[in-house]
Amino acid sequence: MTASSEHPSVRIGIVQESAASGETKALYDEIRAFFGFPAVPDVFKLVSTRPDFLRVMFEGYKAMFGGGHLPRQVKEMIATVVSETNSCAY
């Protein structure tokens, strides 16, 4: 796994969706279904070479944003504002 030709500045190996297989592909499918997006958000691809890490990261995301009193959209908006305040892309 090498840096993406789509993103030449990427210095860590990631598994592109078109190359995903096995557990990584299954997780990518779950992630796309959870978000309702046609593509896996890049932040999850950062750990895609380790499906065990990808599973933990996704399970943590689901725990944080899935249940509770506030709707997921409100939680994501709060996370976006905090990220912007801290100059973080994610």
Q: How confident is the model at residue 72 (pLDDT cuts 50, 70, 90)?
A: confident
Asked whether residue 52 carries a pLDDT value surpassing 90, the answer given is yes
Mean pLDDT of 71-83: 89
Cα separation, 15 vs 46, whole angstroms: 8
Asked whether residue 8 carries a pLDDT value surpassing 70, the answer given is no
Among 53, 54, 49, 59, which residue's Cα sits nearest to residue 10?
A: 49
The tens digit of pLDDT for each residue in 30-43 reads 999 998 899 999 99
The pTM for the full model equals 0.74
pLDDT at residue number 1: 43
